[in-house]
Amino acid sequence: MVSANVSEASDRPGPAEGSTPLRGPGAGDDPAARLAGAPAPADRAAGAGASNRLLTGAVARATGKAGLVVGGLAVVVASWWGASLYVVGTTTLPTPAEVLEAILELLTSGALVRHFSASVGVICFGFAIGAAAGLPTGILIGRSRYWQILLEGPIMVLVSLPGLAFGVLMLAAFGLGPTGPVVAAALVAMPYVAINVAEGIRAVDRDLLRMSQSYRCSRAEIVRHVLIPSILPYLFASLRYAFAQGWKIVAIVEVFGATAGIGFMIRATYQSYAVDGMLAWTISFIALMLFVERIVLVQVENRVFRWRAG
Amino acid sequence: MTGDVIVSGAARAQRVWHRAWRILAHHRAARVGSWLLVPAVWVAISAAVPRIAGPVPVAEAFWEELTSGELYWQFGISLRRFLVGMAIGIGLGLVVGIALGIWRVFDLLLSGPAIAALAIPSIIWALLATMWFGFGDTAPIFTVAVSALPFVGVNVTTGIQAMPRDLTRMSAAFGVPAWRRLTRLLVPAVTGYLFAGTRLAMIVGWQALLLSEWFGAVDGVGFRARYWYDANRPEGTLAWIVLFIVFVVLLDRVLLERISRWVFRWRAQESTQPAPVQEA
């Protein structure tokens, strides 16, 4: 899983984490940077030739790999089961069967769908607001050094804001309800979008820009065909990071003061001291979050960048 | 006569305006403005939202904590928990990361749990730990350790897997002794990733500690912030939040940045460390 990520880094724009300078793979003589961009050594055999023996070997290897991944999960579940039955007791750690039962109950009662969609709505709405604020900010930062210096401090503070601060401040400012989580999601997304868009602006191909100017392209044409295509990948990088970070912050804000959503339910199970409910929400949270990040966002990204492959 | 005065007055005004503009448009003004902007936004928000205190009451609350000695006392308790938790998290993360990096079987076996571990938000760990261990030292230390562990582990694994194949093969072919291989090959390859992962883990761990202390502790900085909140004095909570932010900025941008520059001073380039892996 890790090697896939390393190779991924080479074809995606680097998402900016804080104000860490962005480094392209293979840039300069830094050995670490060169390594990070190197293709993953594994998974080499898959594409090599169509020889039948090779193919069966690859299939066997793939099933072996899947078997190991499943086996790993099985080991974790088994040790969980053993620990809950023989070490700490089922009140402290309910068995996987009990937690599964709780998840099924959440599914059939509709609570899972209701609260999950509430949280997803909050994150999407928040990201829309954050992107709307972050886009012009990013353009300003990317184009002018003055604005970059001016907005450096506020963005750093915003990025360093701990989850607890989001929870307390949103509760204090907006009380109970969905406004607090939405504003929090927007505040999480804004700096990511701004930093990445600025990075995208700086990465615009100057030659392409000059060429389109000398061919007398209109401003709208330049924006449509040069600027937007080169910023879009960076915007997507920020979307992925804003989602990954936004989930966690929204969960915290919802624990503090929401009337619906995953965090609200986590708090409810905490207050009724239901460990099985807590674990059920945790597992659903992880599953749904990974579903959105790995499948939905990847699909959207593939669709948006279809023109690249062709 | 009077016309002359008006003209020179206008010229002077224009000159003053020009000079002011020159100063304001300078990068140094932007630098100053950058630091004034945050307090300015804060004042504006506190004026609009009555439940959020402005800088003055917050400074007063801060002074109260400082003079009563609570500041040192609570920070000491929390720092100890933070350091113990981080030590456990980094130690275990290093062991797991090396195992995953060297033996591909472990990597595949644990890839599912590792992805899940990175996805769990620290609020869940904080609440679960409170349910399991009750109020005390264990819950915060546990929360810090489990929040930090996956970030360290994944980055160490990536570092080992990014080791140049040619070098490993060559050192095997030339029969380079294991110790030399460890110090000359593995350690330089991993340090950058370990440091990047640790840096990220520290920020995540600190934030997890705050949540854990807010919900499940009877002392420490997170508890103290809650104490003010429950006493219906949000200015005290805000004073602590400002301290938390200052702490993170100092830890990350000053301390860790310096250490990173010192550790990687042998690298010619300014870019000192690989971008940390944040997701599996």
State chain A's mean pLDDT as an integer: 78
Q: Is the residue at A100 inside a domain?
A: no
The pLDDT assigned to A29 comes to 34
Q: Is the residue at A173 inside a domain?
A: yes
**Set of chain B residues whose Cβ sits within 8 Å of the Cβ of A169:** 52, 241
Q: From the list A1, A150, A266, which residue is nearest B34 (CB)? A: A150
Convert A272-301 to b/e letters by CB count within 10 Å (16 or more is b): eebbbbbbbbbbbbbebbbebbeeebeeeb
Q: From the list B110, B115, B268, which residue is nearest A290 (CB)? A: B115
- Are both A112 and A204 inside the same structural domain? yes
- Are both A17 and A131 inside the same structural domain? no
Q: Is the residue at A101 inside a domain?
A: no
The ipTM assigned to this model is: 0.82
Rounded to a whole number of angstroms, the distance from the CA of A36 to the nearest CA of chain B is: 7
Of A301-310, B38-47, B183-192, B209-218, the range with the lowest mean pLDDT is: A301-310
Q: Is the residue at A146 inside a domain?
A: yes
Residue range A235-240: mean pLDDT, rounded: 86
B56-263 carries CATH number 1.10.3720.10: yes
- Are both A50 and A139 inside the same structural domain? no
The pLDDT assigned to B7 comes to 63
Q: Structural domain boundaries of chain B?
A: 2-52, 56-263
Residue finishing a domain among A73, A94, A115 = A94
Q: How confident is the model at residue A78 (pLDDT cuts 50, 70, 90)?
A: confident
Residue finishing a domain among A49, A73, A94 = A94
Residue A17: pLDDT over 70: no
- Are both A41 and A173 inside the same structural domain? no
- Are both A149 and A244 inside the same structural domain? yes
CA-nearest residue to B212 within chain A is A164
The pLDDT assigned to B276 comes to 65
Q: From the list A33, A267, A278, which residue is nearest B131 (CB)? A: A278
Residue finishing a domain among A69, A94, A119 = A94
Residue A4: pLDDT over 60: no
- Are both A169 and A90 inside the same structural domain? no
The pLDDT assigned to B104 comes to 81
Q: How confident is the model at residue B278 (pLDDT cuts 50, 70, 90)?
A: low
Number of structural domains chain A divides into: 2
Q: Is the residue at A163 inside a domain?
A: yes
- Are both A28 and A154 inside the same structural domain? no
The pLDDT assigned to A7 comes to 36
- Are both A198 and A304 inside the same structural domain? yes
Is B117 at the interface with chain A, CB within 8 A?
no
Of A24-38, A61-75, B154-168, the range with the lowest mean pLDDT is: A24-38
Residue range A101-125: mean pLDDT, rounded: 90
CB B144 within 8 A of CB A104: no
Output the domain CATH number for residue A303: 1.10.3720.10
Is A3 at the interface with chain B, CB within 8 A?
yes
Largest interatomic CA distance in chain B: 98
- Are both A7 and A43 inside the same structural domain? yes
Q: Is the residue at A102 inside a domain?
A: no
**Set of chain A residues whose Cβ sits within 8 Å of the Cβ of B133:** none
Residue A42: pLDDT over 50: no
CB contact under 8 A, A169 and B275: no
**Set of chain B residues whose Cβ sits within 8 Å of the Cβ of A65:** 108
- Are both A164 and A305 inside the same structural domain? yes
Q: What is the extent of the structural domain holding A178?
A: 107-309
Is A61 at the interface with chain B, CB within 8 A?
no
